[in-house]
């Protein structure tokens, strides 16, 4: 049975009803279609595609065109799942006008359901302008990978009272600016819980402990596909990389032995072929 696609108002409704949901990434049609068949409610086409799909060291080199290129097939593959299009570095920091222009390109050229951008209170005026003109915006605070270099890498955030209070005021500023939900990345669980209690919009936690409204993971992390880096918070629910290696090596072995292809995998129509002299 097809699942019912979430809407923007559903996010707040789910929180009010204490109803949890789950959120993963996808960057291509095939993965999106598998997520669409699952019970997962939300897909993020994240700029993490720079690292996961393109092999970059950070997300900073991802362009608006890259994002649009990857969001389109995900929208096609997952018609029953709410789809978030990430705004890449450099596409919204300059001014609210730039952010509106970039968000409009993402929404109009891909037909995804909302955009997401990184940053706390400093981004509130931009988010306010965007939401005032009808752009649904998901915020992202805590560890914000686009600016990870400025804080010394991919590190836990909000680890002091001052840092935690700053994150709470960031979350409140984003809610007041009209964001309909907020990704909260890499913070101590007590901070995740405090932020979740401090706002009425859902907190979507990735490495933010159990007391958030929704859990987010990168699909390649949770399925153990991405070999290079395993964040502490990324539980592996399956081991697809090992399965893929098993399949690839079985194909290789049967190719070398001649076991593949058997008749079952061949076009067996008889065709008269004259002998050449
Ligand atoms: O780009 C991304 O995948 C993200 C997640 C880490 C939330 O922003």
Per-block mean pLDDT, blocks of 10 residues, the chain (277 long): 90 98 98 98 98 94 98 98 98 98 98 98 98 98 92 90 98 98 98 98 98 98 88 96 98 98 97 91
**Interatomic CA distance for residues 12 and 101, integer angstroms:** 26
CATH level 3 topology of 8-238: TIM Barrel (3.20.20)
> What's residue 140's pLDDT?
98
- Report the pLDDT value the prediction gives residue 1, as an integer from 0 to 100: 59
Distance of CA 174 to the CA centre of its chain: 19
pLDDT reported for residue 83: 98
Q: Which residues pair with 142 in a beta bridge?
A: 185
β-pairing verdict for 203-206 and 214-217: parallel
Q: For residue 168, how far is its CA from the centre of ligand 1 (angstroms)?
A: 20
pLDDT at 228: 67
Between the CA of 36 and the centroid of ligand 1 the distance, in Å, is: 19
Residues belonging to the chain: 277
User: Residue 151's pLDDT is what?
Assistant: 82
245: which 2 tokens? 């290696």
Q: Is 185 a catalytic residue?
A: yes
Q: What 3-state DSSP class applies to 19?
A: coil
Distance 249 CA to ligand 1 centre (A): 32
pLDDT at residue number 193: 98
How many Å separate Cα 205 from the centre of its chain?
A: 12
| Sign of the dihedral through C-alpha 35, 239, 87, 102 | negative
The position carrying tokens 């609210």 is: 96
Q: Please compute, for residue 239, the number of CA atoms within 13 A of its CA located in the half-sphere on the CB side.
A: 5
Which residues lie with the beta carbon below 6 Å from any ligand 1 atom?
Answer: 25, 44, 46-48, 86, 140, 183, 185, 206, 216, 218
Determine the Cα–Cα distance for residues 186 and 182; give it in Å rounded to an integer. Answer: 13
Pick the residue whose CA is nearest to atom 1 on ligand 1: 46
Helices (H) and strands (E) in the chain, counts: 10, 8
User: Which tokens is 16 given?
Assistant: 């009010």
């Amino acid at each position: 049975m097809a699942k019912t696609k979430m809407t923007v108002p559903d996010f707040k409704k789910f929180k009010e009803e204490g109803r949890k949901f789950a959120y993963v990434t996808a960057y291509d049609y095939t993965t999106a279609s598998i997520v669409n068949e699952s019970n997962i409610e939300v897909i993020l086409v994240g700029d993490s595609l720079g690292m996961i799909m393109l092999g970059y060291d950070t997300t900073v080199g991802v362009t608006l065109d890259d994002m649009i290129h990857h969001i389109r097939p995900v929208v096609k593959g997952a018609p029953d799942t709410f789809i978030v299009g990430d705004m890449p570095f450099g596409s919204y920091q300059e001014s609210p006008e730039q952010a509106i222009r970039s968000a409009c390109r993402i929404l109009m050229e891909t037909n995804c359901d909302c955009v997401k951008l990184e940053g706390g209170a400093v981004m509130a005026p931009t988010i306010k302008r965007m939401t005032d003109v009808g752009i649904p915006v998901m915020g992202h605070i805590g560890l914000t990978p686009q600016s990870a270099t400025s804080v010394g890498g991919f590190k836990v955030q909000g680890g002091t009272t001052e840092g935690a209070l700053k994150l709470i005021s960031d979350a409140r500023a984003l809610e007041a600016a009209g964001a309909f939900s907020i990704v909260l990345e890499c913070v101590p669980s007590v901070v995740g819980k405090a932020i979740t209690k401090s706002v009425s919009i859902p907190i979507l936690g990735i490495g933010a402990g159990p007391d958030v409204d929704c859990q987010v993971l990168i699909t390649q992390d949770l399925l153990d596909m991405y070999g290079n880096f395993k964040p502490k918070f990324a539980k592996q629910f399956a081991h697809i990389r090992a399965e893929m290696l098993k399949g690839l090596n079985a194909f290789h072995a049967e190719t070398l032995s001649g076991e593949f292809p058997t008749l079952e995998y061949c076009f067996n129509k008889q065709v008269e072929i004259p002998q050449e002299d």
